[in-house]
A and B are shown apart, each in its own frame.
Chain A
Amino acid sequence: MLSNDFTKTAFLTRFSLRKNWLKLTVWTIAMAGMFTAIAAKFTSIYGTQAAIDSVMETLRSPAMTALFGKMPSGVSSSADIFAAEMTVFMAIMAVVMNYSIVIKNLRGEEEIGITEIIRAHAVGKLSLLGATLIEAVILNLGIGLLYALGLTFADLSGTDLNGNFLLGLGLGFAGLMFASIAALISQIVDNSRNSTILSYVVFGIMYVARMSTDISDPKLTWWIPFGWVEKFSTYKDNNWTPVLSMIIFTIIAFALAFFINSKRDVNAGLIATKPGRKHASVFLNGTFSLFLKLHKTSIIVWTIGLLILGFTYGSIFSDIGDIIKTNPTLEQMLGKSAIHAANVAIIKQFISMLMIIFAVLSLIPGMQIIHYLKTGENKGYLEMIHAKPVGRTKLYLNSIIIATVTTLLVLAATLYGLYLGGVYSMKDPIALKTFIKAYVAYISPVLIMLGITAAIIGTVPKLSSINYLYLTAALIIQYFGKLLKFPDWPEKLTPFGYIAQVPVKNADTATIVWQLAIAAVLFGIGYIGYIRRDLK
């Protein structure tokens, strides 16, 4: 009976690998390539002990702990720094990769009817899930192995073979663990959109939880599966226990997924779709309200999610801005007000680092809304709308307006959360106007990013994935640029590289003006393209 349930799994695995080969290859090369390249670069950046000591100081601070995870004590080589800086980030990338591939493979295919066609053939009930499991194992462990080999090849000072394989395979198993979460959630929820949302909510909770336990009590991080990646203690103790935990977690989650899959019908989930309204409400009366309704859940989830993320970062302000902790005699030397000013300066520095992350995150929902002009068209949802007396101008403007407002709203919510977190944790909190200053400076680069998205969707919608690649590039350049000691020119490739370092410095009006002008031109190009081109 069991063997029947898995008939043709091997064939379906090969089929799925062939179908996804481009996606899998791009992810593998991008992840393993980035990892190895950064490792190789580390040798030259942190060549001297002095350089290592100074960066260790930074990485031990609560701010860096919140971003990169808790630094193990007593480490002192460039390999240690590499492990500390890269682990959490690479694990996040692995989550994104696994979620997108697994949910598309399972719920996505089921939604468009492919699963039904395949199941009508002599294949087992569980073969499709089995095939996705094998695909995830090959992908994650393959990438993990490449990491390990890449590390060995880069030959950082302070690495050892055991550690290389622990870090590489550990990250691979972390990815696999999130593949299992996505597979399980895909069985519970009956459509891919909600599967994606729920999967990211699970990840978001884990991320925020690990951040606060890292600051308050790193031992508690053991309770959070995502936190396990911080427990490898690579090159120091080389602890394989977290990897074992991940394997156990993965086995349990996949077992549950298989169990639910064997019980449920195709196209159904544990949580069924509820019936809707008989008539449209008075608010649903045009394309603007239609788009709002379609994107409502995403807008709400992003706004609340990032408000919480902001609050969590804000709540560690008191730990970050506490230089007295490290040097109690400073207070007597400098006086209270000078100490406060120094604390605020550190916090502002921290906020300026967070800004790029917040900007990139709040761009995602906005870009998705503009992309709907293409995805909605490709899926046929917009065909009936195109036959109505609704001009393309209106569709375009509706999308742009909702996208811009969403991105600006989500960014505002994040900064407001950050402010509230500060109020909650500090005796003498940072003033709201500091956050407003940072916000204002980020409006123009964010609009340019949305403008580029609109221009591509309007003129060459085929190339729309460039938008997300560009966004990722902007994040990597701005976020890692300083730590990796990038040359100056890559910074100038994105609009974020031109603005002042707010809130440490003041925003520059001239920059805002020319950036807004460029954004306007880009939106205009998108408009002209969109009203002229063939739709689908």
Chain B
Amino acid sequence: MTTPILHIEHLQKNFGKFQALKDVTFDVDPGEVFGFIGPNGAGKSTTIRILLGILKASSGSATIFGKDVFKDAVSIHKRIAYVPGDVYLWPNLSGGEIIDLFLKLSGDKHTEKTDQLIERFQLDPTKKARTYSKGNRQKVALIAAFSTEADFYIFDEPTSGLDPLNEEYFQKSVAELKKQGKAVLLSCHILSEVEKMCDRIGIIRDGQIVETGTLAEMRHLTRTVITFKTIESTPELASLNGVHNVENQPNGRQTFSVDTEHMAEVIDYLAQRQIVELQSTPPTLEDLFMRYYDTSEENLVEGK
């Protein structure tokens, strides 16, 4: 068993009377990209700030490389790289100056790789940070992070200001890190990105981790959407176990969603009615996401 890079156990954080984190527990292993998702205000950034030693945990423990995140912050920070969601840069310094400064602060240098990254992300490093857009400020932080020699990378919604092309560069760069066996904690809102990049996912809601696991492990928690057309009619479909939301579509097609564990019986039933067309859409992270986030009554009852 490998020792995890990041280990969080029952982390809690109170701001006065407000309990921002109630119970956060998860690990990130070497060579793993961990997706950290949750709605706004769920506690993602608070958790990350505790990991960076900016905030002090009220109780529970968090260690990176086996060291306490608050007490040993300096020695931990020698081996991590961080990109915040809102990047604020000194308005009167140029992007190039700031990248170099960040590298020097981590004990690294401006290398060929840095130049490649500047080119890849198409940043003009001579502009003063005052004139950068949000996306360009994020690029500055990303370029500095990717050219830092670190073992653990923390990204807090790093692509919210990037265009699709740069977003792809970001994904590529993370894939390279993973290949090198580095660990990545990615807090993100773009579910397609998380789905594409992450090995494991942790979902946080109201300061509590409600689910962790691989996407495959989580799929059983949700439903597949099936669109089909049969020659014979299927009057009993709606009454079958695990079938929901049966709807008629144009051209005689019907759609419904089915709980993963009842899939086999339902397909058997359809097969007996002579299938002409069958299309299944696997559960997306979005469905999972909605299941946990949407606290409206209907979903609570149905999704249970």
Interface set of A (CB-CB < 8 Å, partner B): 111, 190-191, 193, 273-281, 284-287, 290, 293-294, 379-381, 383-391, 532-536
Contacts and interface: CB of A to CB of B under 8 A. Distances in A.
B93 A293 contact: yes
A293 B92 CA distance: 9
Interface stretch (B2-10, B49-57, B182-190): B49-57
B55 A391 contact: no
B97 A381 contact: no
B80 interface: yes
Contacts of B98: 280
Interface majority SS (helix, strand, loop, mixed), chain A: loop
A534 B54 contact: yes
B100 A380 contact: no
B84 A277 contact: no
Count chain A CB atoms within 10 A of each CB in B56, B80, B101, B130 and give the residue with the most: B101
Interface in B87-118: 87-94, 96-102, 104-107, 110
B82 A387 contact: yes
B94 A275 contact: yes
A389 B53 CA distance: 11
B88 A381 contact: yes
Nearest to B51: A387
A380 B84 contact: yes
Given A383-B54, A386-B54, 5 more contacts: A275-B94, A275-B127, A276-B96, A285-B104, A381-B89
Nearest to A274: B128
Contacts of B130: 190-191, 273
A390 to B, nearest CB: 6
Contacts of A190: 130
Interface stretch (B71-79, B211-219, B266-274): B71-79
A383 B90 CA distance: 12
A388 B89 CA distance: 15
B263 to A, nearest CB: 45
B131 interface: yes
Given A191-B130, A274-B128, A284-B100, A389 B94 contact: no
Given A191-B130, A388-B102, A278 B56 contact: no
Contacts of B94: 275-278
Nearest to A275: B126
List 4 tightest A-B contacts by C-beta distance, closest first.
Answer: A276-B94, A380-B88, A280-B100, A387-B82
Contacts of B128: 273-276
B259 interface: no
A421 B92 CA distance: 35
Nearest to A285: B104
Given A379-B88, A387-B52, A535-B55, A280 B104 contact: yes
B195 interface: no
Interface string B32-60: 00000000000000000100111110000
8 contacts: A111-B91, A275-B127, A276-B93, A276-B127, A278-B126, A384-B141, A386-B53, A389-B75
A363 B278 CA distance: 78
B196 to A, nearest CB: 26
A285 B96 CA distance: 13
A390 B87 CA distance: 18
A111 B99 CA distance: 22
Contacts of A274: 128
A286 B104 contact: yes
Contact of A277 (B56, B86, B126): B126
Contacts of A285: 101, 104
A279 B97 contact: yes
B96 A280 contact: yes
Given A191-B130, A380-B86, A389 B96 contact: no
A280 B97 contact: yes
B105 A286 contact: yes
A389 B81 CA distance: 10
Contacts of A278: 94, 96, 125-126
A379 B137 CA distance: 14
A280 B104 CA distance: 10
B80 A387 contact: yes
Contacts of A534: 54-56
Nearest to A536: B54
A294 B101 CA distance: 13
Interface string B213-254: 000000000000000000000000000000000000000000
A120 B289 CA distance: 33
Contacts of A286: 104-105
A67 B93 CA distance: 39
Contacts of B54: 383, 386-387, 534-536
A533 B104 CA distance: 26
B105 A287 contact: yes
A277 B49 CA distance: 31
A390 B77 contact: yes
A488 B225 CA distance: 84
